[in-house]
Structure 1
Amino acid sequence: MAIQHQAGICWIKEDQWQRFLEVTEDADMLENDWHDWVRKTEEMIETFSAKGIDVVKVPVDVEELISWCHEKERTVNSSSRAEYVTKLMTGQPLQGDTTH
């Protein structure tokens, strides 16, 4: 099946995993161990790929994500991560992009 759609996923490096779990509001929904998270996420990526959705791993620096969320007055959660990843993927400005 040809890839028809593309989606991004927040990809956290192993050395930032514990910090990520400390700050994300939905840590209870995630694996405690980074290797377990990678295994589960890879399985999800394969499932989406089989349905024609190309999932791109978007490297996210946890401290930059935290800063962006503070700027937007948002908590770090699945919704804010999705918006942040979309901005990274589309090249939208991350800093100073609020309207006043």
Structure 2
Amino acid sequence: MKKSKKKPKHKKENAIGLAWYSRQQWEILKQVADDAESLAPTFARWETNAENAARMLRQSGYAVEIVDIDVTELLQWCKSNNRPLDGEARSDFVEEKIQDSRFARRPGAKDRT
């Protein structure tokens, strides 16, 4: 008698969002973030770490959604939501951007502007 193997639930059902910064936006972030001391010391270091994280997640079967960050927009979002500009706020901002983009791509979705 063969044992049936259950397929694991596919990890790609929900994408993992990764904040992505240009060199210029990274420099601005380093100046305005409330947790600047916890950020990578250089853009090159951050970029290497971010690329490695994206690669490892993809190799583990996760869908990765890159979210280009405009720090001015992020800062405004933090102010509007009475949040410090820290890692938790950056994560929540990325998640909101992903949700907004999914809504916009949904068939029949109306422009919310």
Global fold match (TM > 0.5):
yes
Q: Does 2:79 match 1:73?
A: no
Q: Does 2:37 match 1:35?
A: no
Bigger radius of gyration: 2
Q: Aligned residue pairs: how many? A: 92
| Alignment correspondent of 1:13 | 22
Higher strand share: 1
Give the TM-score normalised by structure 2.
0.73
Q: Show structure 2 runs of 5+ residues with no match.
A: 1-9, 102-113
CA distance in 1, matches of 2:86, 2:64: 19
Of residues 42, 48, 54, the one that matches 2:57 is 48
CA distance in 2, matches of 1:55, 1:24: 24
CA distance in 1, matches of 2:11, 2:55: 12
Kindly, what percent of the aligned residue pairs are identical? 24
Maintained 8 Å contact 1:3/1:49: no
Of residues 39, 52, 62, the one that matches 2:71 is 62
User: Which has the higher relative contact order, 1 or 2, with Cα contacts under 8 A spaced 6 or more apart?
Assistant: 1
For the aligned residue pairs, the C-alpha RMSD in angstroms reads: 1.9
